[in-house]
Amino acid sequence: MIVCFDIGGTAIKGAFAYSEDDVRPVPRQPTPINDFTAFVAVLKSVIAQAGEKPSCVAISIAGVIDPDTGQAVVANVPCIHGRRLSQDLEDELGLPVLIANDADCFVLAEAGVGAGRGHRVIFGVILGTGVGGGLVIDGRLINQEGGFAGEWGHGPVAATEAGNHPARLPRFQCGCGLAGCLDAVCSARGMEKLHHHLHGQSLTSEAIIAAWESGDQQALRTLEVYIDLLTGPLALVANVTGATIIPVGGGLSNAERLIGEIDLAVRSKILRKFDRPLVVRAQCRIEPGLMGAAVLGLNAVGE
């Protein structure tokens, strides 16, 4: 048995995992974002409910473990930001501690109990507040020790012309400090910036997609450009990784027609040809961070 956690800036979700098919959540608790002692106390209170000593603790965080220093980069939980978090928590809890980024845990969940079952190489995509991803090969997270693998949303690769009748586009500034990242133009907020640039109209991503689905000409143009922007780089990722399934999570994945159009466009741009969907909606819709942490811990125990 392992204890797994999904830690966000608002709540800490915990569960006891006996197998991938037997994960038992416990009530969530508020995250003490500024008090490390209180933060550890929440984890200890959950572990104490297990009734037995767990083999390890596995944690999903909305951040990254720097592979060179072991330090956590977690902007929304200041009390753990900058810490050598695995070591600090092992010292406090007296148990082995594994930590992975929430996007990586999403892909692990899809590999273990979602759309990635039966596939050797799974590249998982997040399309929502940001554009992120992660890579699992043979059931193992490629950056098991931390790092930035799978972060295809960052890097100055966004096209400056896109669409069937190419629209000229600026290199939108990204929160990471670069300009021209997919995160800046293909996230939910990025879609909104793109629509405003093309039409001078401020709409939410939900409204843009709803208008697109109803045949609105401006929204049709926005989504045509958006899909072209997104799918060239995603096709390159598919070619480089050899992924045979690309599950998509995040808020934009709720638009099933959009995922279908992205799939068709990606499959038209890759070297290997598939006669079935490659880019699919994620199947693990409930607590993928928690489920991915469970898979992370169970895999480590199994090894």
Q: Specify the CATH number for the domain of residue 182.
A: 3.30.420.40
Could you tell me if residue 205 is inside a domain? Answer: yes
Residues 297, 225, single domain; the answer is: no
| pLDDT at residue 63, rounded to an integer | 87
Could you tell me if residue 9 is inside a domain? Answer: yes
- Listed as ranges, residues in the chain with pLDDT below 50 are none
| pLDDT at residue 62, rounded to an integer | 87
Q: Tell me the C-alpha to C-alpha distance, in Å, between residue 193 and each of 122, 188, 233, 235, 287.
A: 30, 9, 19, 23, 29
Residue 157, classified by CB atoms within 10 Å of its CB into exposed (0-12), middle (13-18) or buried (19+), is: middle
Q: Tell me the C-alpha to C-alpha distance, in Å, between residue 188 and each of 129, 253, 256.
A: 6, 10, 15
| pLDDT at residue 48, rounded to an integer | 95
Mean pLDDT taken over the chain: 94
182 neighbors 157 (Cβ within 8 angstroms) = yes
Residues 64, 193, single domain; the answer is: no
Neighbour tally for 141: CB within 10 Å: 26
Name the phi and psi angles at 29, rounded to 5: -130, 150
Residues 265, 178, single domain; the answer is: yes
Residues 100, 225, single domain; the answer is: no
Residues 92, 135, single domain; the answer is: no
Task: Enter the tokens of residue 129.
Answer: 């507040």
Domain that holds residue 42: 2-105+293-302
Residues 206, 266, single domain; the answer is: yes
| pLDDT at residue 144, rounded to an integer | 77
| pLDDT at residue 245, rounded to an integer | 98
Say how many domains are in the chain: 2
Residues 254, 144, single domain; the answer is: yes
Residues 126, 227, single domain; the answer is: yes
Could you tell me if residue 232 is inside a domain? Answer: yes
Residues 253, 122, single domain; the answer is: yes
Residues 257, 146, single domain; the answer is: yes
Could you tell me if residue 63 is inside a domain? Answer: yes
pTM (predicted TM-score)? 0.92
Question: Which helix H or strand E contains 225, and what residues bound it?
Answer: helix 217-241
Residues 97, 131, single domain; the answer is: no
Could you tell me if residue 94 is inside a domain? Answer: yes
